[in-house]
Amino acid sequence: MELITSIKPVLAVLIPLAVIPVLVSSGGRPNVREAWAFIAGILSFTLVASMVPAVLDENRIGMTLFPIAPGADIALRVDALGMLFALVASSLYIITSMYSIGYMRGLNEHSQTRFVAFFALAISATIGAAFSANLLTLYLFYEILSLATYPLVTHHQDENSKVSGRKYLTFILGTSIGLVLPAMIWCYHATGTLEFSAAGIFESDLSTPSATVLLLMFVFGFAKAGIMPVHSWLPAAMVAPTPVSALLHAVAVVKVGVFSIVRVLTGIFGVELLSSLGLGGLVAFIASVTILVSSAIALSQDEFKRRLAYSTIGQLSYIVLGAALLSPKGMTGGILHITMHAFGKITLFFCAGAIFVATGKKYLSQMVGIGYRMPVTMTAFLIGSMSIIGLPPTGGFISKWYLVLGTLEGDQAVMLFVLLTSSLLNAAYFMPIFYKAFFCTQEEAMFERKFDEAPVMCVVPLVITALISFILFFAPQPFLNLSTLAVTGFTGG
Amino acid sequence: MIHYPAVVVIASLLGAFIAGILAWVQERYTYPAALIATGISCAAAVWDLIYVAGHGPIAYHMAGWAPPMGIEYRIDTLNAMVLVLITAIAFLNLAASWPNVKQEMPDRSPSFYVMYLLFVVGLTGVASTGDLFNLYVLIEITSLSSYTMIALGDRDRGPISALNYVFVGVIGASFYLLGVGYIYIKTGTLNMAEFAAMIPNIQDSTTILTAFILCIVGVFIKMALFPLHVWLPNAYSYAPVGFARIVAPLMTKVMVYVMVRLMITVFGLDYIFIKLHIADTIVWLGTIAILAGGVMALAQTNLKKMLAYIIVCEIGYMVGGAWLGNDSGITGAVLHILNDGIMTFALFLAVGNMVYKLDRVEIKDLKGLFAGMPWTMTGFVLAAFSIVGVPPTCGFFSKWYLILGAFEAGAWHFAAALLISSLICAVLFFKVFEVCFFESPDTHDGPGSDAHGHHTTVAIQEAPAISLAVLGIAGISLIVVGLYSKTIVVRLIWPLLNP
């Protein structure tokens, strides 16, 4: 394994950032503006993808940008875990940019330029977080992402979004400043470094009580991961336009949260220290509670996006649970779930948005019989929800398979029970939607049996993501190899 | 002999005379004269900094008189850095505030420029001098010119705020002068370096202890450490914009510099942390100042007042940090002098732009400002994030060292206060952002119910280009200074602590 110095990761972060002035200055010509957003997205994705072979050869690519303090620089470094996440985020950004055009223009939304500009900033911060070489850099991008998302969440600028925006900030900023910042400085004070390394930064001189407190500060401090009880910002953030919910609150923002937790577990504490202190079980327990409770809450939600939000909270904890299992298979499954859940859930959000654009309906109880009017959307919905439940032939099956193997490997039957119960609950809150959409009597149906889909720019992206979810079942290799490689790195062989 | 240390001060002093004469002869030339004078001061200060960073401290004897008879200017990395901060802000602010001065005092602008230059003379002198009594004189020059300029501000409340400031300021100065008197009686010298050399032999003396306490209390009053802050909020909010923009970022920070100078150079860290046992108490004072400043800021309905209380809060950061008794704490405090100077400058620049267009800056009157003044608000947001401590703005990095110092010292209350104040500042600023973002200026019955589209477009009414350009420079330096923190710390601050 060698460290290649390259400017590529820096460029992948900078391109979406550098395009913002161009986006703003071409605000009067929406087509030009959107074209630039695409170009930036494609360039950034190409850069990320071009580093895949080197990463798969077990190299790391990076660059130190600004030294801040001894042992804490602002530095980027691409490894398998970061690559997997950046690949997901940057590819979905392109698809979401397309979807945004259909959605925002379809609804004739105001301030579209601001929307596009902050979206680009958010994706830049996400890629930055994925490529962070140490905790300080990760924190930097984490905070930028929190603040860049605020104007997106509160896009409608009405009373409702103001309240949700407050909630969003209180949870996200409150925990990152109140918990992560002191925890990070504590680490730095104790060890003099914040660099992620598989062996952890503590040389086993950490007592169990301090380690527990520190770990909890991180797990709850990265509130973007939506671990209960710091989850309630996510349903509130659903007030945002759907492209935001889709890319940021199913992929970028929330996954930066779980990604950060996984990084801290594997790079700051280290798998070895966690298993010797027995702290994996604690995190797994917290994650399990979140999985079960949020899935149960999701059952009772009638607003489409809120149900998806609670589903997301549960699925995010799968990833945390996988990492906390500390067994190779379990961790592989958890990391792989970042990808699988991303493609599945973004499809579902795209569907929710497409239905809203086409019919103006937000509540599931108003969507009876919609399958005949929007068959493409609802078929995509079926594939997406199957992926979330973990049914073949969709990508979600693969990651759940590994998670289940992980629980067996770690001899943790309780966690197996949690996973299976949650899958049943997932099926219970998704399948009725699909069922009611197609299987209803003529009297029950709320829509005419006439094909009338959302705008093409809305439908094409959701077909693409649904197809990818499907393909990932047969060809999970790039992501599976990356997550296996990442886990090999964490467990040291 | 290198004369740059003198040039920094004298350029502004001569500028003040020339501007004063020009005010009688050709009024319209006073402004260019003032701009050139501060520009020369700034260039000389930058030269000082470069020289000192490369070659070590400069000892400059005024008019060639050697100490103890003559006055010595002693420039090391600490005051070179502070001098660059002072002169750069003085120069940039003069450029940015020209439209405001013209708007606020069309008939009295020449006297404003003269007093402004004298104020800069005072500040640069305070930051340059190596003589304890000369320091007093220069503090008084600074104070007298600021009393005058605050009285030039708001016609109703400006003079009364100035009077309040005069009373408190004179008390503070008297404390300091009394302390210097004791030092002179005991040692017969007023030169900082000579006095510092004598300290190890006389550190048990009660006279020296008294002198130290008198000096430090005087400085605390001048820097508005809670509960000695009562003069500050009114003085800063009712001052004319052009002056508020320089006094708010610099006056208190320069007094913090004086405190650090007294600690590091004059009395010495050994005397302060080993001989005296007051460090813990003062860290507590800093903690209380942070919390009290934050809470009082929450209660304000006027943006300027809110910022003034944030300054009170920030003073707590620096005082507490400097007294933690470890390198990280002092590093954080000194770095925060620089960072807080820049961010307060940026905030007051933005507020000055708002005042130029809106006249009043009651928070509830700021509706729709993101749409109306996008560039001003961008600068304001950036500076606000720096106050909150969001990386990569510079405020984060000084807070980093301060919290690290608190951890090293085991001063958990101080670390907690820093974190709580970050959260309070986030609340404070987002309260303002919400008004600027969510409420449109046209509707009086709250935000419209139409969630999608159809928002009334607010015409962009920005401040003059020059004010925006300076705000842009300040905003960029917030990030650049932040990213180059390590260079600043390693090259400028650590040489000071470990000579």
CA–CA separation, A294 and A312 (whole Å) = 9
Residue A204 is predicted with a pLDDT of: 65
Q: For residue range A59-90, what is the model confidence (pLDDT) as tens digits?
A: 888 888 888 887 788 999 999 999 999 999 99
SS3 assignment for A141-153: HHHHHHHHHHHHH
| A178 to B453: CB separation less than 8 angstroms, yes or no | no
Q: Model's pTM, two decimal places?
A: 0.93
Token pair 């005296």 is found at B276
CA–CA separation, B93 and B99 (whole Å) = 11
- Interchain contact B451–A (C-beta under 8 A): yes
Average pLDDT over every residue of A271-275: 89
| B437 to A151: CB separation less than 8 angstroms, yes or no | yes
Q: For residue range A466-478, what is the model confidence (pLDDT) as tens digits?
A: 999 999 999 998 8
- Chain B interface, best mutation among A65, A107, A134, A143, by max B CB count within 10 A: A143
Residue B454 is predicted with a pLDDT of: 46
Dihedral sign (CA B282, B284, B289, B290): positive
**Closest CA of chain B from A214, distance in Å:** 14
Give me the residue spans of the domains in chain B.
278-444+458-499
Residue A493 is predicted with a pLDDT of: 52
CA–CA separation, A383 and A294 (whole Å) = 22
Set of chain A residues whose Cβ sits within 8 Å of the Cβ of B455: 110-111, 157
Average pLDDT over every residue of A22-34: 88
Set of chain B residues whose Cβ sits within 8 Å of the Cβ of A143: 390-391
For chain A, percent of residues with pLDDT exceeding 90? 61
Minimal Cβ distance to A140: which of B392, B419, B485 = B392
Set of chain B residues whose Cβ sits within 8 Å of the Cβ of A166: 430, 434
| A107 to B484: CB separation less than 8 angstroms, yes or no | no
| B453 to A107: CB separation less than 8 angstroms, yes or no | yes
Minimal Cβ distance to B451: which of A156, A169, A188 = A156
Residue B42 is predicted with a pLDDT of: 95
Set of chain B residues whose Cβ sits within 8 Å of the Cβ of A151: 437
Minimal Cβ distance to A162: which of B408, B419, B434 = B434
DSSP label of B453: S
| A157 to B489: CB separation less than 8 angstroms, yes or no | no
pLDDT tens sequence for chain B (499 residues): 678 889 999 999 999 999 989 888 888 888 999 999 999 999 999 999 999 988 888 888 888 888 777 888 989 999 999 999 999 999 999 999 888 888 888 888 888 899 999 999 999 999 999 999 999 999 999 999 999 889 888 788 888 889 999 999 999 999 999 999 999 999 988 999 899 999 888 888 899 999 999 999 999 999 999 888 888 988 888 888 889 999 999 999 999 999 999 999 899 888 888 888 889 999 999 999 999 999 999 999 999 999 999 999 999 999 999 999 899 999 999 999 999 999 999 999 999 999 888 878 888 888 888 888 889 999 999 999 999 999 889 999 999 999 999 999 999 999 999 999 999 999 999 999 998 888 776 544 444 444 444 455 567 788 889 999 999 999 999 999 999 988 899 888 888 887 6
Average pLDDT over every residue of A401-408: 92
Evaluate whether B5 touches B75 at the Cβ level (below 8 Å). Answer: yes
- Interchain contact B28–A (C-beta under 8 A): no
Residue B444 is predicted with a pLDDT of: 42
pLDDT band at A1 (very low <50, low <70, confident <90, very high): low
Pick from A310, A254, A321: nearest CA to A287: A321
| DSSP notation for B270-310 | HIIIII---HHHHHHHHHHHHHHHHHHHHT--BHHHHHHHH
Q: What is the maximum span of chain A, computed from C-alpha positions, in angstroms?
A: 71
| A109 to B434: CB separation less than 8 angstroms, yes or no | no
Evaluate whether A394 touches A386 at the Cβ level (below 8 Å). Answer: yes
Set of chain A residues whose Cβ sits within 8 Å of the Cβ of B422: 177, 181
CA–CA separation, A403 and A408 (whole Å) = 9
Residue A284 is predicted with a pLDDT of: 92
Instruction: Name the β-bridge partners of B362.
Output: B302
DSSP label of B359: S
> At CB < 8 Å, which residues of chain A contact B?
65-69, 74, 107-111, 136, 139-140, 143-144, 147, 151, 154, 156-162, 165-166, 169, 173-174, 177-178, 181-182, 185-186, 188-189
CA–CA separation, A335 and A353 (whole Å) = 27
